[in-house]
């Protein structure tokens, strides 16, 4: 090789490295744009979920914001730089916007964004969009892990989704049970050996029917109904959050009589639980709150509720599994539940409430029989307090409305 060729050869090496760098940069930017756009859309949909709009509207709003904001920044950058063509500027701004916003939303504002993303994941899962729901749960910092088999002991359930969920339950449940629910817990002892005995479904129903209440609500979008149950001698009622959420007016029927005043004591949207209180001259005896950590797969259970307004309907089944779904511990059972059962008690055969019936598993295009879910009652126990300073009086309406 002549000496005249050496400078050309030496100059070619940096040019090759520059091309490789540009190629890697282009691929990285493309991945950032695609992945960042998806994360940006999910984050925006979670934000717009607070507006209580449908899936299609949330997607449209998120898409509009995700596209228009970067386009506005691109236009501004072109004006400032006085360039006629954007070149790589447009893609750079798109990548930055679609990556930085999710990082700020998911990372910096994690305490605020995590519940929003979890609720968005729940909404997407109910719509049958399992992959999008899983992505939302991952952004929320939760792995949606389920147990492998419903036929096991129930103790080997995969608790890969945040071990702290299980730890918190064990440490706090003992403390919370020493509250104003002593009247309910005092009924847990029966028999000469100090243990509660197994009773028949008929006896269980007879004992607990008065404590199971019917809940009717009015919303801007129409009416609804659900179930609740009395947990102490002060008229405190447990139900699902989604039963009373956004209700303009609520009325509760207890043992055939309508309560005149209803208070909202506490609510937890992530756990899907709410506590109400009624003023009643003679409230029925409360239910007994059991220990869901002692349940076994295959154990018989009974649900009492108001499916489709048919009050005090009893159904039975077995515990199918103990699961962790979407970051939440849930009891899977085969006892049939329908719309109107939400918020009702799930009993073991010793007459103890071990869960709050909350949902049927699946979406509009993914249905199966008797895949029903209940929130473990120890999650409810954590909400029970001696007093509720932020309680508020709910509007009620006449007993002539609705059908019962």
In a domain, 154, yes or no: no
Instruction: Give the pLDDT score at 128.
Output: 66
Rounded (to 5) percent helix, strand, coil in the chain:
40, 25, 35
For 288, the token pair is: 């007994």
Rounded Cα gap, residues 381 and 211, in angstroms:
17
Indicate if 113 and 19 belong to the same structural domain. yes
Residues 134 and 234 in one domain: no
Specify whether 272 is catalytic.
Answer: yes
For residues 181 and 284, membership in a common domain is answered with: yes
- Among 242, 280, 311, 320, the active-site one is 242
Binning pLDDT at 50, 70 and 90, where does residue 338 land?
Answer: confident
Q: What is the value of pTM for the model shown? A: 0.55
CA 369 to chain centre: 21
| Whether residue 345 sits in one domain with residue 296 | yes
Question: Per-residue pLDDT for 333 more than 80?
Answer: yes
155: in domain: no
Is residue 362 predicted with pLDDT exceeding 80?
A: no
Q: At what angle do helices 6-48 and 89-102 cross, to 10 degrees?
A: 50
Most confident of 175-179, 242-246, 347-351, 395-399: 347-351
Catalytic residue among 122, 232, 272, 311: 272
Smallest CA-to-CA distance from 271 within 208, 316, 330, 312 is with: 330
Q: Is residue 81 a part of any domain in this protein?
A: yes
User: 305 and 171, same structural domain?
Assistant: yes
Co-location of 110 and 223 in the same domain:
no
**Mean pLDDT along residues 212-236:** 90
To the nearest whole number, what is the mean pLDDT of the chain?
78
Instruction: Give per-residue pLDDT as tens, 30-63.
Output: 888 888 888 988 999 988 887 778 888 989 999 9
Read off the pLDDT of residues 270-281 as tens digits, 9 standing for 90 and up. 899 999 999 877
- For residue 346, being part of any structural domain is answered with yes
Kindly state whether residues 301 and 231 are assigned to the same domain: yes
The CATH number of residue 281's host domain is 2.40.10.120
- CA nearest 30: which of 85, 99, 78, 103? 99
Asked if 242 is an active-site residue, the reply is yes
Q: Which is catalytic among the residues 132, 225, 342, 378? A: 342
Tell me, yes or no, whether 290 lies in a domain: yes
**pLDDT tens per residue across span 128-185:** 676 787 788 788 775 443 332 222 333 323 223 333 333 333 334 444 444 444 444 4
Q: How many domains does the chain have?
A: 2
* pLDDT at 186 > cutoff 50: no
pLDDT for the residue 148: 29
Q: Is the residue at 153 inside a domain?
A: no
pLDDT at position 87 is: 62
151 domain-assigned: no
Residue 74's domain comprises 6-139
Residues 77 and 225 grouped into a single domain: no
2 annotated active-site: no
What is the tens place of the pLDDT at every residue in 8-20? 444 445 577 777 7
Instruction: Indicate whether 108 and 231 sit together in one domain.
Output: no
């Amino acid at each position: 090789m002549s000496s005249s060729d050496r400078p050309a050869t030496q100059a070619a090496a940096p040019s090759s490295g520059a091309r490789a760098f540009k190629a890697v940069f282009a691929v990285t930017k493309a991945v950032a744009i695609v992945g960042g756009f998806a994360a940006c859309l999910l984050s925006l949909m979670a934000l717009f979920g607070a507006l209580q709009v449908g899936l299609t509207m949330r997607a449209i709003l998120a898409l509009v914001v995700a596209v228009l904001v970067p386009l506005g920044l691109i236009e501004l950058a072109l004006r400032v730089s006085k360039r006629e063509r954007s070149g790589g500027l447009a893609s750079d701004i798109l990548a930055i916007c679609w990556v930085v916003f999710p990082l700020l939303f998911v990372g910096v504002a994690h305490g605020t964004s995590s519940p929003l993303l979890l609720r968005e994941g729940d909404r997407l899962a109910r719509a049958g969009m399992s992959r999008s729901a899983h992505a939302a749960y991952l952004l929320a910092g939760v792995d949606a892990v389920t147990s492998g088999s419903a036929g096991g002991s129930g103790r080997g359930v995969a608790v890969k989704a945040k071990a702290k969920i299980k730890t918190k339950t064990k440490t706090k449940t003992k403390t919370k049970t020493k509250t104003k629910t002593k009247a309910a817990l005092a009924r847990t002892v029966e028999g000469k050996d100090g243990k509660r005995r197994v009773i028949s479904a008929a006896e269980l129903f007879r004992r607990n029917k008065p404590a199971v209440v019917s809940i009717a609500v009015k919303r801007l979008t129409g009416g609804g109904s659900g179930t609740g149950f009395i947990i102490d001698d002060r008229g405190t009622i447990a139900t699902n959050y989604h039963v009373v959420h956004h209700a303009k007016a609520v009325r509760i029927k207890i043992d055939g009589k309508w309560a005149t005043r209803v208070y909202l004591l506490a609510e937890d949207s992530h756990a899907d639980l709410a506590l109400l209180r009624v003023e009643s001259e003679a409230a029925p005896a409360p239910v007994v709150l059991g220990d869901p950590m002692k349940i076994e797969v295959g154990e018989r259970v009974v649900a009492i509720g108001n499916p489709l307004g048919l009050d005090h309907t009893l159904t039975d089944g077995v515990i199918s599994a103990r699961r962790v779904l979407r970051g939440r511990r849930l009891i899977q059972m085969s006892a049939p539940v329908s719309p109107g059962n939400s918020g009702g008690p799930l009993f073991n055969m010793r007459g103890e409430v071990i869960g709050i019936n909350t949902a049927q598993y699946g979406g509009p295009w993914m249905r199966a029989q008797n895949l029903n879910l209940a929130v473990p009652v120890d999650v409810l126990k954590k909400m029970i307090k001696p007093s509720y300073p932020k309680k508020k009086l709910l509007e009620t309406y006449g007993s002539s409305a609705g059908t019962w």
